[in-house]
Amino acid sequence: MRQFVVRYSLLLVVLLIVSACGQASAPASGPTVVDSPTEESPPASTTDEPPTVALVMKTLTNPFFVEMEKGARRAEQELGITLVVRTGAQETSIEQQISIIKELIEDQVDAIVIAPADSKELIPVLKEAQDAGIVLINVDNRLDPEISASLGLTDVPFISVDNEQGAYLSAQYISEQITEPTEAVILEGIRSADNAEQRKQGAMRAFGENANITVVAEETANWKIDEAYDVTGQLFEEHPNIKAMFCANDMMAFGALQYLKEQNRTDVMVTAYDALEEARAFIRDGELQATIDQQAAEQAYLGVKYAVDAINGEDIPAETMVDVLLVTSDNVDE
């Protein structure tokens, strides 16, 4: 496992170098927009200085967020703004994200595009930012609407994908191939994150449609490779007859696949979510059956664009859903 993590760390270094040089490709299809604009928009800026937009993400150790930065950089170039990119050390670095937002409030940025590590814990500090006149755009993981309303955080546009449907498509791909009694497990993300809950529900729906499938466990690995490796080992010790796995992101799938490879368990079908390049390589090799492309670059591109539109006093959609794409061996090279 240590060698696998070291090799994967080297891959991340390469991805980060490439992301600094590359440009995001155009999305495969356009987003679905809920046509209800925010009720209030701040007045257009009266300064000649270009607006400063901050993109706050969970981490750059996951290549998904490297792709997200690419989309934001594309918007920066097209719109002539100043983009500040800040991230936590890990996807679980919630307190670090809170500290980052406090710093951005002090820096008086014009807008914050936030991909929150937690759907609830960041709401109070985001309310502080909104009270300071900073435009907020929520991408990727939805902020909890009830807590937002109770704390007075209002009219924060949301850009993401239908996480429940994406996970459903991923798990359905193997569910449709199962014709005899089979045990399945689900590896979840951070349980306090809305997107993690939605993906779990989507996988449960897909597995539940096949009477031959019994979901014997739902465990969190907090989006991480190393935790997924350990959790997968524990699950297979408890349930050695598992033949199907849904992992709520590719990183957890990498940890699960490494464990399965070491145990020579070639009889287990695994699907995932994010369509990272290494996940595509696993699909080509036949180790991973499917993953979901949620167009990370497009989400961030729209987030920055909408932020600038709001700064300029324009109405923007309350919710925008970017299409998800199922990636299998049939279309992995498209």
**Ordered DSSP codes for 15-62:** HHHHHHH--PPPPSSPPEEEEEE-S--PPPP-SSSPPEEEEEES-SSS
Residue 137 lies in a domain: yes
The region of weakest confidence among 13-17, 26-30, 225-229 is 13-17
pLDDT of 47 reads 55
How far, in Å, CA of 49 to CA of 46, rounded? 9
Q: What is the pTM of this model?
A: 0.81
pLDDT of 289 reads 99
User: What rounded mean pLDDT belongs to the chain?
Assistant: 89
Residue numbers of the domain that contains 130: 23-161+295-322
Both 184 and 156 in one domain: the answer is no
Residue percentage of the chain with pLDDT more than 90: 82
Both 191 and 144 in one domain: the answer is no
- Are 324 and 167 in contact by the 8 Å Cβ rule? The answer is no
pLDDT in tens, 125-137: 999 999 999 999 9
Residue 211 lies in a domain: yes
Residue 99 lies in a domain: yes
Average pLDDT over residues 208-230: 98
pLDDT of 92 reads 85
pLDDT at position 304 over 90: yes
pLDDT in tens, 9-27: 444 433 333 344 444 333 4
Both 122 and 268 in one domain: the answer is no
pLDDT at position 180 over 70: yes
Both 206 and 282 in one domain: the answer is yes
Both 278 and 188 in one domain: the answer is yes
Question: Domain containing 96 — which CATH number?
Answer: 3.40.50.2300
Average pLDDT over residues 22-39: 45
pLDDT at position 42 over 70: no
Residue 74 lies in a domain: yes
Pairing of strands 182-188, 158-160: unpaired
Both 49 and 64 in one domain: the answer is yes
HSE value, Cβ hemisphere, 13 Å, CA-based, for 69: 24
Both 187 and 80 in one domain: the answer is no
Average pLDDT over residues 217-240: 98
Amino acid at position 274, single letter = D
The region of weakest confidence among 39-43, 138-142, 161-165, 256-260 is 39-43
φ and ψ at residue 213, rounded to 5 degrees = -100, 130
How far, in Å, CA of 271 to CA of 248, rounded? 9
Sheet with strand 242-247: strands edge to edge = 213-220, 182-188, 242-247, 269-271
pLDDT in tens, 75-85: 999 999 999 99
Both 254 and 239 in one domain: the answer is yes
Number of domains in the chain: 2
Residue 9 lies in a domain: no
Residue 182 lies in a domain: yes
Amino acid at position 308, single letter = V
pLDDT in tens, 84-124: 999 999 888 999 999 999 999 999 999 999 999 999 999 99
How far, in Å, CA of 226 to CA of 4, rounded? 10
Residue 212 lies in a domain: yes
Residue 49: closest CA among 108, 124, 127: 108
How far, in Å, CA of 76 to CA of 24, rounded? 12
HSE value, Cβ hemisphere, 13 Å, CA-based, for 83: 25
pLDDT of 48 reads 75
Both 261 and 302 in one domain: the answer is no
27 vs 143: which has the higher pLDDT: 143
Both 289 and 302 in one domain: the answer is no
Average pLDDT over residues 242-249: 98
Q: Which two tokens stand for residue 305?
A: 């664009």
Residue percentage of the chain with pLDDT more than 70: 86
Residue 333 lies in a domain: no
Residue 239: closest CA among 255, 219, 221: 219
Both 72 and 86 in one domain: the answer is yes
